[in-house]
Amino acid sequence: MKRYIMKRLNFIFIALAMLLCTKTSGREVHLTLLETSDVHGNFFPYDFLNGGVPGSGSLSRVATYVSRLRETQGDSAVLLLDNGDILQGQPSAYYYNVVNVADRHLCADILNYMHYDAATLGNHDVEAGHSVYDRWMAQCHLPMLGANVVRTDNGEPYILPYTILERQGVRIAVLGLVTTGIPQWLPENLWSGLRFEDMETVARRYMPEMRAKADIVVGLFHSGVGSAEHYAPMVENASAEVARRVPGFDIVFCGHDHRRANRTLTNVEGGTVVLLNPAADAHAVAKADIVVQLEPEGTTSVRVKGEIVDVDDLPPSADFMKQFERQCQEVKAFTHEVVGKCTSTMTTLPAYFGPSAFIDFIHSMQLEISGADISFAAPLAFDATIPKGLIRVSDLFNLYRYENMLYVMELTGREVKAYLEYSYAGWVQTMSSPDDHLLLFRQNPDQIPDLWQRLKSPNFNFDSAAGIRYTVDVTRPAGERINILSMADGTAFDEAATYRCALNSYRGNGGGRHLTEGAGIPAADLQQRIVWSTEKDLRYYMMQRIREMKKISPQPLGLWKLIPEDWVEQARKRDERLLTGNEKPR
């Protein structure tokens, strides 16, 4: 009996020792963080802008991917984050922003249904206005983040700076930041009572307390990757700069610039940071697989592997579609509503090479709505078509992509010319022979799969003008190309005179820098140049005007041209192939 008792005691001691050994040796925790960004209202698997035909991407497909991952890894191992710009871009968002404001916001219900763990405010969310984003955030059952969105009355954060999420004993701090360019792009009434502080300054302020509370620190930045080597305040795409200059981040999820990224950089103290950006419209999600080694005395290591996961080939979630069937049908009915008739087809492509029906219709509407002397406008959609026949609400989203207000600003004739010089400097290059490209392309453009990225500057900065007659000599250097011949009615154009100019609120607040770097107007003086503004977005007024007209017959106004015309025509054929990806010009 004594020997038996001793054996049992030995067995117990060994078991206890093994248990203690296991406990003191720590454990590994495997987690997955997922990010969506710049969804721009792409909730359903339909292309509402083209008649509700099947569409690619969408949160309905993201829901399928997230659901499968949660089933295989467990709910506690998967965290889902959104990085802003979700409230603008598609009729499915616009309908609940502007038309049906009595119901709960569809976007809030979707984020709640999909069990998002946190989200950051984006600049296009702010563009919807206080009444929309305040209502939306109040209806979201998740932390809404924006550490650098600060109240002007008391200096306190307008929304949560960061949140701590805990999973399987691992604490994850998520810091939200938004690009600081909002005051340059949006009218002040949309962000009244707020200021947007420098991203690096704010990240540095909160890092010590986040590191003290968490095992992992994540940046959820509505700002593009940008450059890690060069920093200046008010940088639009500053994620890499902040990640490098503010030690402590393990992962930085990026957004805003619609460019995919999966990079690793080293911060100023030698630490590794993974940067991820899933681009736009819910075609992909950014995925960070994390292995955390937990010891009794604290975390000893964090390993991160980044990936961009395409979801276009996944089926939409049946549960998702059933849950939001009513809202989807309402949006379909809204976008299918007929507002008028168009006698000819309009496409974006000709707008890159001269006057086009597409852009000149916008010019005509801006001049008619505002009563201005001169209009500035750009192709906001890279490649869009308004077909001949009935005009539906969906067509107006193709014609005018963003929820911009219409401004009238006072500019001198000299400033008008400088504005145009700046616009075409980012649009066309100086040709030395007819064999050169006309448009400014990135290096080796034929090797860039995304057609819109082949252009060196974004198409929404290619402003032309109406109300004046002018030529653009592409054999001349930038800054010496524009020759304004007269006003549209043939009367003299005077560089010393002051003109009322119609342009969208993005441009009027300094977006694209046409007014500041181009026309030379100090940013602080832009507001006092505004003499009139619409109360609602320009698309809304276009919709109302077309309803009144019942039928439109848009034609190119022919008020400007690129010269020499024979060189331009030869280059156009080659450049069209690069813009369309077609073997033959169309």
DSSP letters along 231-276, please? --TT-SS-HHHHHHHSTT-SEEE--SS---EEEEEE-TTS-EEEEE
Position 20 scores a pLDDT of 39
In this model, does residue 280 exceed pLDDT 80?
Answer: yes
Rounded average pLDDT over 563-577? 96
Quick one: pLDDT at residue 418? 98
Q: What is the pLDDT of residue 118?
A: 98
Arithmetic mean of pLDDT, 324-333: 96
Which CA distances in Å does 505 have to 517, 526, 534?
17, 11, 9
Q: Over the stretch 393-429, which tens digit does the pLDDT of each residue have? A: 998 888 888 888 999 999 999 999 999 999 999 999 9
Residues 362-387 pLDDT 10s: 999 999 999 999 999 999 889 888 88
> Residue 4 has what pLDDT?
41
User: Is the model's pLDDT at 8 over the cut of 90?
Assistant: no
Helix (H, G, I), strand (E, B) or coil at 184: helix
Is the pTM value of this prediction over 0.85? Answer: no
**Residue 9, pLDDT above cutoff 80:** no
CB 142 within 8 A of CB 36: no
**Tokens linked to 110:** 């979707």
- Average pLDDT, integer, range 553-561: 96
User: pLDDT digits over 175-213, tens only?
Assistant: 999 999 998 888 888 999 999 999 999 999 999 999 999
pLDDT higher for 404 or 245? 245
Look at residue 18 and tell me whether its pLDDT is greater than 90: no
Q: Is the pLDDT of residue 23 over 80?
A: no
233 confidence band (pLDDT: 50, 70, 90)? low
Give pLDDT, residue 7: 44
| Cβ atoms of 160 and 220 closer than 8 Å | no
Given a cut of 60, whether residue 319 has pLDDT beyond it is yes
Quote the mean pLDDT of the chain: 92
Three-state SS at 120: strand
> Which pair of structure tokens corresponds to residue 499?
């003109």
- pLDDT above 90: residue 225: yes
Max mean pLDDT among 224-228, 232-236, 355-359 falls in: 355-359
CB 258 within 8 A of CB 37: no
Q: Is the pLDDT of residue 567 over 80?
A: yes
Report the DSSP beta bridge partners of residue 411.
499
With cut-offs at 50, 70 and 90, classify the pLDDT of residue 232: low
The better pLDDT of the pair 111, 346 is held by 111
- Asked if residue 564 has a cis previous peptide bond (ω within 30° of 0), the answer is yes
Terminal CA-CA length for the chain: 98
The domains located in the chain, with CATH, are 25-331 (3.60.21.10), 337-580 (3.90.780.10)
pLDDT of residue 1: 44
**Residue 472: HSE in the Cβ half-sphere, 13 Å Cα cutoff:** 33
At 450, give phi and psi (nearest 5°): -80, 110
pLDDT of amino acid 85: 97
pLDDT at 10 over 80: no
pLDDT at site 2: 45
How confident is the model over 95-129, as pLDDT tens digits? Answer: 999 999 999 999 999 999 999 999 999 999 999 99
Q: In which band, very low, low, confident or very high, does the pLDDT at 439 lie, cut at 50, 70 and 90?
A: very high
Q: Residues 209-226, buried b or exposed e (16+ Cβ, 10 A)?
A: ebeeebbbbbbbbbbbbb
Which residue is it, tokens 């399928």?
Answer: 64
